[in-house]
Amino acid sequence: MSREQRGPNEKLGAVLALAGISNAGLARRVNDLGAQRGLTLRYDKTSVARWVSKGMVPQGAAPHLIAAAIGQKLGRPVPLHEIGLADADPAPEVGLAFPRDVGQAVRSATELYRLDLAGRRAGSGGIWQSLAGSFAVSAYATPASRWLITPADSSVARDANPAEGSGAPLKVGHSDVQKLREAAEDARRWDSKYGGGDWRSSMVPECLRVEAAPLLLGSYSDEVGRALFGASAELTRLAGWMAFDTGQQEAAQRYYIQALRLARAAADVPLGGYVLASMSLQATYRGFGDEGVDLAQAALERNRGLATARTMSFFRLVEARAHARAGDAPAAGAALRAAEGWLERARDGDSDPSWLGFYSYDRFAADAAECYRDLKAPRQVRRFTEQALSKPTEEFVRSHGLRLVVSAVAELESGNLDAACEQGVRAVEVAGRISSARTTEYVKDLLHRLEPYGDEPRVVELRERARPLLMAPA
């Protein structure tokens, strides 16, 4: 269904010309994006011609999918007003802002929390349109630069306005903050063991909406407010990480941006660096190695002299991952050496943040192996993977599955098909026990690399074992 505007939509026509997208091409892209979100759309070149020449406005999710399709081609977010569709629901802009003002930052974060990841606006039955846009690495530029310029707000004390929430505003205390921190700790544990798509992990967005949002909209002193913003930033980053692990890149991006803004309000520079490192890993995973380097170096720059040795090691490791994806072997090697050096200086008595509890030498080895995989150095991959797989797996099941796939790729590139298939079978077994789109993508990549050996019985067996995993709904 469409509704009619007055006259042609010249803005849409101009942006389509700028992007070099034909009417048929836009229709195809919109239909494909809709299908990815469970929508059956049948637009064609005639539909697009009506949007442009007659000013007809498609209803439902279509305006946001149009913006997303054009944004993919241009490599940047495309707001609805730029394509003459500003009258559509503005929800896709939610979560992309990095406000300078603390009050606006609270509104930006809580507005995002009111939208859940299950596909519906909280409290309504409409089709979820809030995060229909596509991941655009350029959306990280402003948050990163503003955080670098001013990594802490001067004051965050707040006297609540009753009109902002439902009922009387809360008077927030340290006990309220502690509950959020405990929720974050529980979520980290479930995520590592069962994947970001497990129902226990997916309760984080609900916790943000039901628990964190009313607290952020409450009244608190500067001291309590800093702690509240820090705990909320941890939970928000976790929501982003889980969305990333389940393949919801658009949602992850918005959560990361808000987590960084909350970390700035908390005056927690290491936590802000951790969020930037998460952004970097996402950019690197999506193939934007250079931008991943920038984000990792932003984390490093502000944390010199502030973060613990273990924290600095992790940031350098993330930087190495990005350099490797960008194909810069010397820079990746230098960053890995620096990461290992920082890790050797770490001591058990250091005041490491609680969110860094996952990071030890086996995690360093696992990421080093992935660096050398990207740099096509299988001997180094095998060396580091052996170290990474030497630890127990009960707590970090997903990481173990990823490491097995990387090990299989190294064996394959070394000419050891039997060993590659053996590790692949083990990886498939682990992947079947967790809910992680990222782990499934790693398995798919391994099977793609094995295609030249598709008639080999061992490869046929592995492919059959992986079939239920690959056919499972996302």
Q: What are phi and psi of 115, to 5 degrees?
A: -110, 120
**DSSP assigned state of 209:** I
Residue 472: pLDDT over 60: yes
Q: CA-CA distances (angstroms) from residue 81 to 74, 204, 268, 311?
A: 16, 32, 35, 42
Q: What are phi and psi of 103, to 5 degrees?
A: -60, -40
- For the beta carbon of residue 239, count every other beta carbon within 10 angstroms: 30
Give all domains of the chain, ordered by start, each with its CATH number. 2-88 (1.10.260), 95-267 (no CATH), 360-474 (1.25.40)
What letter does residue 211 receive in the DSSP assignment? I
- The pair of three-digit structure tokens given for residue 429, joined into one six-digit string: 């077994």
Q: State the number of CA atoms in the 13 A half-sphere of 180 facing the CB.
A: 32
Phi, psi (degrees; rounded to nearest 5) at 171: -95, 110
pLDDT at 166: 52
**Residues 312-363: pLDDT tens digits?**
999 999 999 999 999 999 999 999 999 999 999 999 889 999 999 989 999 9
Q: 136 or 376, which is more confident?
A: 376
pLDDT of residue 87 exceeding 70: no
Enter the pTM of the model.
Answer: 0.79
Q: Name the pLDDT band for 451 (thresholds 50, 70, 90).
A: very high
Higher-confidence residue of 470 and 149: namely 149
CB atoms within 10 A of CB 340: 18
